[in-house]
Amino acid sequence: MRILLIEDEKDLAAFITSLLKKAGMAIDTAHDGEQGIFLARTNNYGLIITDYILPKLDGRSLIQELRQEGKQMPILMLSARQGTIDKISVLDAGADDYLAKPFSSEELLARIRALSRRPHNIQSDVLTFKNLKLEPESFKLSKGNKNIKLTNKEFSLLQYLMINKGRIVSRETLLDHVWDDGLDSFSNTVETHILRLRRKIENKDEKIIHTIVGRGYCLDIRK
């Protein structure tokens, strides 16, 4: 899952970034509200985490604008402010949840899991394709009755392909959804990860990830 974090406290932003990366998520960071709303409009995020008090555009206005534009992704608000009035005003503006600072890593991860389980978000559904079964909640992939160990990136990549089974997914789309902004899109990292993934899930008689030359990759549901 690709996440946008909008937080002007750089130490906290760095802490959350490393926490979420370890949990297998791709994360982009903005340090003020204007940069945040720009990224939220430009990219496809599975979740936005935003601070309340931000330079240039505050978290509440940012959420309101995104909702008015029809953006549906779950949004978690962070804030050092306490009290029910703020909480209600934030939820009214269109945030899905609210977490008061300071919070523990466990609590943040639990809130993220809960938000990604909501119906408008398919990121945590169990996915199947042929005899593959991928369980995002427990970070497990099995093929028949055999468990297969994947790296975080391989897991996210396969998850995205399984969500889109039957459709051709371009390299650019994969870069957009599975990788974060820090990556040079000319690098061969998509190809490298597809290759490693194939070695783990395919054998010589069975192709799972098909390459459609010039267009992308596909889990073909007809074969």
Total residues contacting Ca ion by CB under 5 A comes to: 3
* Interactions with Ca ion, residue window 44-73 (CB under 5 A): 51, 53
H helices of 69-188, in order, are: 84-92, 105-116, 152-163, 171-178
Q: Is 41 helix (H, G, I), strand (E, B) or coil?
A: helix
* 8 forms part of the interface with Ca ion (CB under 5 A): yes
Tell me whether residue 36 or residue 136 sits nearer to Ca ion (CB atom).
36
Tell me whether residue 90 or residue 169 sits nearer to Ca ion (CB atom).
90
Tell me whether residue 75 or residue 190 sits nearer to Ca ion (CB atom).
75
Give me the least distance between CB of 51 and Ca ion, in Å please. Answer: 4
Give me the least distance between CB of 50 and Ca ion, in Å please. Answer: 10
Give me the least distance between CB of 39 and Ca ion, in Å please. Answer: 17
Tell me whether residue 31 or residue 67 sits nearer to Ca ion (CB atom).
31
* Interactions with Ca ion, residue window 168-197 (CB under 5 A): none
Instruction: Give the pair of three-digit tokens for residue 208.
Output: 């799972």
What does the alpha-carbon distance between residue 44 and residue 47 come to, in Å, rounded to a whole number?
A: 9
Q: Is 129 helix (H, G, I), strand (E, B) or coil?
A: strand
Maximal CA-CA distance, the chain: 62
The closest alpha carbon to 177, from 192, 162, 157, belongs to 157
Residue numbers at the binding site for Ca ion (CB under 5 A): 8, 51, 53
